[in-house]
Structure 1
């Protein structure tokens, strides 16, 4: 009986070994996936972020190809006004999908051109504000001591003031400083608005970057780099910044949305940028809608505000997706 059962025991062992080998191979393959690929995979599981990215890309293509996607020029009337064919405040119809404004300009075409200017303002202000915030946060975190205290107190002072109120006060004050105009433009220029958003929009990124520097600068790989003679700038660029890129990207996306909403808010109160001949912005269109609501020209309000809401939601969903993708602890499993 012993001789007949022994071979069965010996045959079971190789099967178990094969399972162990296969399990080890699978585990090794999973461990070999780069953090970037894992981040992309987690982002793709966030359905809202993926859908928002698709919508935003389509919008970007529309505004980039505005001469092709817009039915009329930004200041072009649908047709000449006459007694028989008035074109002011036309409701949506085949010749004007989103209706016309008070002088007969096609609202659909103006929304495309306006979104192009607003996206440019949002991206430029967010990118430059992020660069400024990363620089200040890195200096504060790496130098420490008195420099850190001074920079963080300045940051706290900037954060203490309401954003929009500060923008309005700064706009009024800087308009009386003539020597600044060659640098940042006049108060109605796009360059001036971008400069305002940068000056009063870097603080959140600075605090994030300082926290990342304080958390990483005592790690072994940073100490090894410092022992080899690396400067603080090289340590930040080569070691700390790549490890802090996730929170910074999230802050950047939210800064884009904040700048677009702020521009539209300034436009609503009549303090928005005036892009010049042949251009407009969402802020200008929202400002025009303010006077069209009571007479019943609903399309002047609904379409600009709906576009503003869609763009803001898309950017915020993309920010949520990036946050989940770059921080596995916040992964919601695609919900």
Structure 2
């Protein structure tokens, strides 16, 4: 009875506070996008990782316009120690390590973003076609995926990259050609489930074509998993490119990347550790940040998620 209020005149009974009604209406009108965004913003680790990722992007693409030295500048002395002029010292040929690190981070990010975009697009198309059409198409596409999965990626990368002089965009295309298969399998599984839903049956009964059903009805309902997989593909591409470049099978000079910088300076691990730890820390930070962002997106898009992990 504590919620019952009597008006000063007329004795009108109000059994529920007005503010509760407003809160109910506000909750009722929230869209799915607002709910997803709210869950993501409450994921503290994902938000910290997003901040780190933004800082790294600004460092890579805006830093060269602010920093004193260019990554190709060899006017400085060889192997200068850390100082105000060279916070990370200089390389053997006299390049400023900080400027070189900006350039390498930018190249690694470009490669990773291209790989994620191409792999996601190819994987979603192949997976949706296999899951929706089923039968012979499903069998043929999935056997193609199985065949590509057993091909040694490093061997193919060595042949293709060396044949095309190791340009960074060639490395991106090679990595994308091996990164879409897992996305295709995940997309196929979701498509098999969604294809049995009533709204797909209704679209089919109305005479909608296969491309329209896939891109108008199926893909929008898989946007959560597509976004998460695309994010995780970025982190995977960063590490794979670094590994290939470290083995000498990835990006080749005059292009550079985080893997190339680590390869060129790992011999200074004991004598001049800052030349090794600088690019290594950026590489690990970039990979972890993207992984944690993907983790936050997975939690945000999960409709069964009742509590966002910190």
TM-score when scaled to structure 2?
0.90
Corresponding residue of 1:44: 41
- Gap change, CA 1:190 and 1:236, over 3 Å in 2: same
Q: Deviations over 1:44-100 (max 9, x none)?
A: 001111111122112212222243233311121353xxxxxxx22222111210111
Name the SS for the 2:249 alignment partner: coil
Are 2:252 and 1:286 aligned? no
- Gap change, CA 1:214 and 1:49, over 3 Å in 2: same
Q: Deviations over 1:234-278 (max 9, x none)?
A: 1111111111011111111111111111111112111221263xx
Q: Tell me which of 194, 207, 226 is aligned to 2:185.
A: 207
Q: Tell me which of 147, 152, 156 is aligned to 1:170.
A: 156
Name the SS for the 2:256 alignment partner: coil
Corresponding residue of 1:15: 14
Corresponding residue of 1:3: none
Corresponding residue of 2:108: 118
Name the SS for the 2:226 alignment partner: helix
1:1-335 map, 5 Å? 14-16=13-15, 18-19=16-17, 23=20, 25-77=22-74, 79=76, 87-160=77-150, 166-174=152-160, 186-274=164-252, 276=254, 279-294=255-270, 296-330=271-305, 332-335=307-310
Name the SS for the 1:122 alignment partner: helix
Q: How far apart, in 1, do the equivalents of 2:199 and 2:189 lie?
A: 18
Deviation at 1:187, TM superposition (A): 4.3
CA contact (8 A) 1:100 1:106 kept: yes
Q: Return 5+ residue gaps in structure 1 as ranges.
A: 1-6, 80-86
- Gap change, CA 1:158 and 1:12, over 3 Å in 2: farther
Q: How far apart, in 2, do the equivalents of 1:216 and 1:150 lie?
A: 21
CA contact (8 A) 2:157 2:250 kept: no
How many residues align? The count is 303
Deviation at 1:331, TM superposition (A): 5.1
Q: How far apart, in 1, do the equivalents of 2:281 and 2:268 lie?
A: 16
Q: How far apart, in 2, do the equivalents of 1:272 and 1:53 lie?
A: 27
| Displaced runs of 4 or more, over 6 A | none
Cα RMSD between the aligned structures? 2.3
Q: How far apart, in 1, do the equivalents of 2:87 and 2:78 lie?
A: 14
Corresponding residue of 1:84: none
Deviation at 1:167, TM superposition (A): 2.6
- Gap change, CA 1:228 and 1:195, over 3 Å in 2: same
- Gap change, CA 1:25 and 1:293, over 3 Å in 2: closer
- Gap change, CA 1:95 and 1:33, over 3 Å in 2: same
TM-score when scaled to structure 1?
0.84
- Gap change, CA 1:146 and 1:112, over 3 Å in 2: same
Deviation at 1:28, TM superposition (A): 3.6
CA contact (8 A) 1:50 1:318 kept: yes
